[in-house]
Amino acid sequence: MTPLGYALLCALHRGPLTGYELVRRMRRPIGYYWTARQSQIYPELSRLAELGLIASTGEPGPGPHQRMTHQLTPAGRQELADWLIQRPVPRPGRDDLILKTYAVAAATDRTAMREMYLAEAQRHEERLAEYRSQHAELLEQGGDDPRRLEFGAYATLELGIRLWEQYASWCRWLADQLATPPAEPPPTLASI
């Protein structure tokens, strides 16, 4: 079982979906945090079906292919439940902006750098607004009750909001830092 396989089981835990619906959901991060492309998803669905973790039924579709609907089998549900309680494998986060920040001293154009951080802050704030509206929607439906099916989505949004708030405000803080005294060579001798 691959991580993508588990991601698909997760996506199906609330009920059956077609391959195409899964593709659309996983374009924007599922649980606001996991993405996959169609070229990954379709082969993986076949694999899950072979393993007996999902049941896939086809009906005639619009194009040259059948429209397939997938749902968890009892074995799939069990596999998912077993995986849920295992400690997650730590995946290395890779983030361009943090990398750039680490090397910020190598920037020759600090104004352009500052603008980049402000643009990123704005992007994160826009995403944040989206998350907040979905969060409010789920709250209205009682998604904050941990016994409800919707609680998972609510809880991931909760984290997403906390994280992006910090990220956005950090971007603005950095932009501020870069605005201060732009000139004067550093008082160290360490510049090679």
Partner DNA sequence: TTGCTCATGTAAGAAGTTACATGATTCA
Partner DNA sequence: TGAATCATGTAACTTCTTACATGAGCAA
Subset of 15-44 contacting a second copy (CB under 8 A): 15, 29-35
Q: Which stretch binds a second copy (CB under 8 A): 47-55, 62-70, 92-100, 132-140?
A: 92-100
Grouping H, G, I as helix, E, B as strand and the rest as coil, residue 68 is strand
Considering the rule CB under 8 A, would residue 66 count as an interface residue with a second copy? no
116 binds, among a second copy, DNA, none (CB under 5 to 8 A by kind): a second copy
Tell me: does residue 95 bind a second copy (CB under 8 A): yes
Contact of residue 64 among DNA, a second copy, none (CB under 5-8 Å per partner type):
DNA
Please count the residues of the chain: 192
Distance from the Cα of residue 33 to its chain's centroid: 2
- Asked if 153 interacts with a second copy (CB under 8 A), we say yes
Q: Residue 24 binds which one of a second copy, DNA, none, with CB within 5 to 8 A depending on kind?
A: DNA
Q: Does 140 bind a second copy (CB under 8 A)?
A: no
For 33-69, letters b (16+ CB in 10 Å) and e give: ebebeeebbeebbeebbeeebbbbeeeeeeeeeeebb
Is residue 42 a contact point for DNA (CB under 7 A)?
yes
Please name the residues in contact with 71: beta carbons below 8 A apart, sequence gap of 6 or more.
12, 15, 16, 17, 54, 55
Alpha-carbon distance 40 to 89, whole Å?
Answer: 21
* Distance from C-alpha of 56 to C-alpha of 48, rounded to nearest angstrom: 9
Interface with DNA (CB under 7 A) = 2-4, 18-21, 23-24, 35-40, 42-43, 45-46, 61-68, 92, 94
